[in-house]
Amino acid sequence: MIKYPIRNHPNDSPVESLSKTYQLSMLKDKHGRVHDYLRISLTDVCNFRCLYCMPEENIKFMVPSKLMQADEIDRIAQEFVKLGVRKIRLTGGEPLIRNDAEKIITSLSKYPVNLTLTTNGTRINEVIPTLVAAGVKSINLSLDTLKAEKFFQITRRNLFAKVWDNIQLLLENGFHVKVNVVVMRGFNDYEILDFVEWTKNQPVHVRFIEFMPFDGNQWNNEKVFTYKEILEVVDAKYSTLRLKDEINGTAKKYKVYGHEGTFAVISTMSAPFCSNCNRMRLTADGKMKNCLFSKSEIDILGALRKGEDIIPLIRQCVIEKEVALGGQFNSDFEHLDAGKIKNRSMINIGG
């Protein structure tokens, strides 16, 4: 087992005291929600081809010159921190596939934020010393099946063992590991109990995610395995305990009595959690979205490159946020026509 030494880091210090030097007034939308969590997509490229995330063909990746460069990500992040951002998640595409991912992680680690990332896990063994040095404590990792053959069907890559080993490496090094599982009816719903069983002897935090509609991902309402159905499956076998959810959390958290880990459900489709949303997104080409499902985007990178002040643009984007689900649909997903939703693919937005 390889263990990496933990160093003292700004992320270990109380965020409030460090942030005083930066603080401008907070970002509030017209519904009074304070926004202090930024998700930055580092790239729309990925070494996987997950069928629920990207179109099967005609994938157009962004031109490299259009992507935010490492120094631009740093400058934009700094403005968000001044506006009260306290959490930054790097995502993608696959964030760790970018050659300068470690440089970006290290540069963002100087800010008084909870810095974290969502990854498919394939490069964790290469970057773990950087994550430790940057004070990253928690990682979200995607794994939709515990079976190698099924893994290949979903991702179209033969890398189950690599991802599994990297989860073990993170656990051995004391990381808080959340495992994202997109549940699709008739496809991997029969593995729900296997995932919950995994939480018995390992401190993993499994999060079942309801399948969401994005451009080109062949979503239909019948494939959504809902929050209620997931609980019915688990409750038929285990005694569960409802846990306190995180403030602004998207996951409804549970634990099986006696298990080391926990499980949760992210019920975007059947029971959205927009009322206390605090999230903003930057796509890899520097467009700001105030919601995963927002129709509009604001070009932050373009403004930065022209030398303009980006703070008014960020404020405008947040103020305009719709009350729920980008104003495009509601929890009545059974009647949703996915073809009418105006959005990019998930890989293009940054999950």
Q: Which residue ranges make up the site for ligand SF4 (CB under 6 A)?
A: 46, 48-50, 53-54, 92-94, 120, 142, 347
- Are 140 and 181 in contact by the 8 Å Cβ rule? The answer is no
CB of 271 to ligand SF4, least distance (A): 22
Contact pattern from residue 111 through residue 150 relative to ligand SAM, giving x for each residue in contact according to CB under 6 A and a dash for the rest: -------xxx---------------------x--------
Interaction between residue 198 and ligand SAM (CB under 6 A): no
Taking CB within 5 to 8 Å according to partner kind, which of ligand SAM, ligand SF4, none is near residue 131? Answer: none
Interaction between residue 291 and ligand SAM (CB under 6 A): no
Interaction between residue 324 and ligand SAM (CB under 6 A): no
Pairing of strands 34-35, 87-92: unpaired
Q: State which residue, 211 or 238, has the beta carbon closest to ligand SF4.
A: 211
Q: Which ranges of the chain would DSSP assign to H, the alpha helix?
A: 15-19, 70-82, 101-108, 124-133, 148-155, 160-172, 192-198, 227-235, 300-305, 311-319, 346-349
Beta-carbon count within 10 A of 215 CB:
18
Taking CB within 5 to 8 Å according to partner kind, which of ligand SAM, ligand SF4, none is near residue 209? Answer: ligand SAM
Interacting residue with ligand SAM among 36, 70, 89, 92 (CB under 6 A): 92
Q: Which residues contact 267 (CB under 8 A, 6 or more apart)?
A: 210, 226, 227, 252, 273
Q: State which residue, 93 or 112, has the beta carbon closest to ligand SF4.
A: 93
Taking CB within 5 to 8 Å according to partner kind, which of ligand SF4, ligand SAM, none is near residue 326? Answer: none
The string of DSSP codes covering 75-104 is: HHHHHHHHTT--EEEEEES-GGGSTTHHHH
Q: Report the site for ligand SAM in 150-189 (rule: CB under 6 A).
A: 180, 182
CB of 211 to ligand SAM, least distance (A): 5
Taking CB within 5 to 8 Å according to partner kind, which of ligand SAM, ligand SF4, none is near residue 83? Answer: none
CB of 159 to ligand SAM, least distance (A): 12
Query: Please, which contacts does 325-331 make with residues 24 or more away whose CB atoms are closer than 8 Å?
Result: 325/268, 325/272, 325/274, 325/291, 325/293, 326/291, 326/292, 326/293, 326/294, 326/295, 327/295, 328/293, 328/295, 329/293, 330/272, 331/269, 331/270, 331/271, 331/272
| Joined tokens for residue 201 | 């002897």
CB of 52 to ligand SAM, least distance (A): 4
Interacting residue with ligand SAM among 29, 43, 52, 294 (CB under 6 A): 52
Interacting residue with ligand SAM among 44, 79, 94, 322 (CB under 6 A): 94
